[in-house]
Structure 1
Amino acid sequence: MSELRFEAAAPDGPAALPADWRRIHNLIIPTAPLSAADVRERAGRNRLVVAYLGATAVGCSTVRPPAGNPAAATVIARILPEFRRRGHGHRLYQHALATAREMGADEIDTVVLAANADGLIFARHHGFVEIERYVLPGDTIPFVDLRLAVKKPDGGPDRGPHPAGPPGPPG
């Protein structure tokens, strides 16, 4: 079996990378499809990565840089359904989490489309707890904001509110 590798989908990089990132994003989040221009704009402000198994794009991630106080980064890992439950999502998430920590994140958030049961299970399995649900204008399916539960000094989970409110459309 081929090794999973990660390639940055930078706005000035090879055109195939943003196209693969966009295709995976739009398959997993059909309620919020992005255009090529949307992806270029996001690649300029976020870290977008495509996960490849051999020559096949199997997933993508978004890391929104830390903002607020405490500095909360948003980490989103997406794996195509036919490649799930093989450890690819965990490896992509770990890669994105390391990126967020390198950017100076004190807290980690994620956002999952409520209809994506696998995504919600994955997030909860990796220690995220739900902090908010919201529906974007014109949509009917909510997005779920989750925060990585951090252990307080007393050993209990820290499940404080999101410091800046909803982070906006996922991406």
Structure 2
Amino acid sequence: MHAVDTTSEAALSDWQHVHNTVIPTALLSLEDVRERSARHVLHIAHLGDALVGCTTLRVPAAGSTTATVIARVLPAYRGRGFGRELYSHALAQARSLGAEVIETVVLASNPEGLSFAHRAGFIEFDRYVLPGDTVPFVDLRLA
């Protein structure tokens, strides 16, 4: 598996596809993804020619040491270690940018993602529902 940054329109579209597949309650347009790519570090991952997943790194804000690391894996590729690889890649980036506190967010309807986060040492600290949604997002912090 290899990670690629999202500097091209095709890569942004791939990132959007993974996000919208894994987070169907908060679909993003390509314009939304472009805007996110200006604020966050986004990567996609392939196994050969197959799109496997993506990452989002919300870098620490000025004066903060907290980063958010999100790894998403398409359902067909789960349970094969790709999530761990994606998470490790994004975590290393976060640490290199000075992050001391690591958080993640998982859609409550994604039991595989929640289980992954708990196995990686994350502890839930908040749940919230976006306006108009019914499925909560779960905020977790690395213990």
Same fold per superposition (TM over 0.5): yes
Taking the TM superposition and a 5 Å limit, the aligned residue runs for 1:15-164 are 15-67=9-61, 70-149=64-143
Distance in 2 (CA, whole Å) between partners of 1:24 and 1:100 is: 21
SS at match of 1:138: coil
User: Where does residue 7 of structure 1 map in the other structure?
Assistant: 4
Given the two structures, how large is their TM-score scaled by the length of structure 1? 0.81
Which aligned segments of 4 or more residues in structure 1 are displaced greater than 4 angstroms?
A: none
Counterpart code for 1:28: V
Q: What are the ranges of 5 or more consecutive residues in structure 2 without an aligned counterpart? A: none
Distance in 1 (CA, whole Å) between partners of 2:62 and 2:138 is: 20
Per-residue deviation at 1:76? 0.2
CA offsets per residue over residues 69-104 of structure 1, 9 Å max, x none?
651100000001110111111000000000111111
Whichever of the two has the greater Rg, that structure is 1
Work out the number of aligned pairs and report it: 143
SS at match of 1:67: coil
User: Where does residue 160 of structure 1 map in the other structure?
Assistant: none
Given the two structures, how large is their TM-score scaled by the length of structure 2? 0.97
Distance in 2 (CA, whole Å) between partners of 1:69 and 1:123 is: 26
Distance in 2 (CA, whole Å) between partners of 1:68 and 1:114 is: 30
SS at match of 2:60: strand
Q: What are the ranges of 5 or more consecutive residues in structure 1 without an aligned counterpart? A: 150-171
More helix as a share of residues: 2
Is contact 1:70-1:107 (8 Å) kept?
Answer: no
CA offsets per residue over residues 109-156 of structure 1, 9 Å max, x none?
00000000000000000000000001111110000000000xxxxxxx
